[in-house]
Amino acid sequence: MVIPDFIKYGDTIAVTAPSDGNKSDIDFARLDHAKEKLYSLGIHVFETDDVRQSVKGRSAKAKERAKQFMQVWKDEKIKCVISAKGGDFLMEILPYIDFEEIKRNPKWFQGFSDNTGLAFTIAAMCDTATLYTSNFNDFAMEKWHPAIQNNWDILNGKDIIQHSFDKYQDGFFTGETGREGYDVSKDVKWLNACGGEDVRIEGRIIGGCLDVLLNLAGTGYDNVSSFNRKYSSDGIIWFFESFSLGSEDIERGLWQLKENGWFENVRGFVFGRPAFFSSSTDTSYKEAVLNELAEYNVPVILDADIGHKPPQFTIINGAKCIIKSSRGRGSLKHILY
């Protein structure tokens, strides 16, 4: 697995919109504040044309989004590419992405949610690590939440241990100035659904938003079988988080991934807090997950700090790591060297 060069003072980061773009005044304010914050830290920020556009859930037509993404990827001055927003239609650009160019010119890509379409495929297809964590606008906070500081520290190559947070934000919070932090109110409590009271998992971690991964499975952008073969001796830790999947969707989806052979060599599963969850069969999230995954007899952790209910960990997609979970608390440490 290629670990791209970490950023340093004076480097340039590109912000682009491979899915949706910014469209509201508060979006634009957060974007500008985030750029100011990084400028204050000695980082130059280049913004592609699609970042301040949104039409029917897309920042631009698929070919144009792919073109702007590849332009910044090919630019040797740019050391990291961060997505502006999530959305629903990133998959449309994948036929126009030059994955061979990405292999030849590795650099960091960062984003989450619909950006799974690139964060996952670059790791699985190009053997190049990516960052699954907040999109660009979260850097706008006047006082960074520790999760954002962790993100920045990891981008700068610091070897840190991420610990579960005390509180999380339940729902979406817009703010008024664009400089607000997360509106945290609920207690964070990791749940060891399988594996005992004290869980430790070591392996190579990969995953993303389950809603998106289900669209990729079985397509030409899957490549999980090759990834599993290459890293069979490490063992695989799968991390998932869901946006709008109900219990029935989760069970059918995990069954599909299982039948596609994704979970060969699995060492454990880690699930983030679901953004929206419902069930027409009176099935809990835990039951839906265990109905499909209990047979693997590996640890299964639920409600971890991953995904749409922030704060969230910064996961180096494709890297080796150690995850621990005990009595409602958890930690993650990457092993890069």
* Contact indicator for 123, 3 with CB cutoff of 8 Å: no
SS3 113: helix
Cis peptide before 146 (omega within 30 of 0): no
Residue 193 confidence (pLDDT):
97
User: CA torsion, points 97, 103, 106, 110, in degrees to nearest 10?
Assistant: 40
SS3 333: strand
Residue 174 confidence (pLDDT):
85
Residue 182 confidence (pLDDT):
97
Q: What is the pLDDT along the chain (337 residues), one digit of tens a residue?
A: 999 999 999 999 999 999 999 999 999 999 999 999 999 999 999 999 999 999 999 999 999 999 999 999 999 999 999 999 999 999 999 999 999 999 999 999 999 999 999 999 999 999 999 999 999 999 999 999 999 999 999 999 999 999 999 999 998 988 899 999 999 999 999 999 998 899 999 999 999 999 999 999 999 999 999 999 999 999 999 999 999 999 999 999 999 999 999 999 999 999 999 999 999 999 999 999 999 999 999 999 999 999 999 999 999 999 999 999 999 999 999 999 7
Amino acid at position 142, single letter: E
- Alpha-carbon distances, residue 250 vs 147, 179, 186, 211, 257 (angstroms): 27, 35, 24, 9, 10
Q: Which residues pair with 131 in a beta bridge?
A: 110, 316
What is the C-alpha to C-alpha distance for residues 306 and 221, in angstroms, rounded to an integer? 23
Tell me what percent of the chain is helix, strand and coil, each rounded to the nearest 5. 35, 25, 40
Asked whether this chain's domains 12-159 and 163-335 adopt the same fold, the reply is no
What is the C-alpha to C-alpha distance for residues 84 and 293, in angstroms, rounded to an integer? 34
Domain boundary assignment for the chain? 12-159, 163-335
Name the strand (E) or helix (H) holding 190: none
Give the strand pairing for 161-163 and 329-335: antiparallel
Residue 207 confidence (pLDDT):
98
Q: Other C-beta atoms within 10 Å of 126: how many?
A: 22
Q: The domain 163-335 belongs to what CATH superfamily?
A: LD-carboxypeptidase A C-terminal domain-like (3.50.30.60)
Residue 27: exposure state from Cβ atoms within 10 A (0-12, 13-18, ≥19): buried
- Positive or negative, the Cα torsion across 286, 236, 323, 168? negative
Q: For the residues of 21-33, what is the DSSP string, one character each?
A: ---SHHHHHHHHH
What is the C-alpha to C-alpha distance for residues 83 and 62, in angstroms, rounded to an integer? 15
Kindly state the tokens that stand for 270.
């880690």
Angle at which helices 247-259 and 285-293 cross, to 10°: 20
Kindly state the tokens that stand for 277.
């969850």
What is the C-alpha to C-alpha distance for residues 275 and 246, in angstroms, rounded to an integer? 10
Residue 100's contacts (CB-CB under 8 Å, 6 or more residues apart) are: none
The CATH code of domain 12-159 reads 3.40.50.10740
What is the C-alpha to C-alpha distance for residues 71 and 1, in angstroms, rounded to an integer? 24
Residue 337 confidence (pLDDT):
78
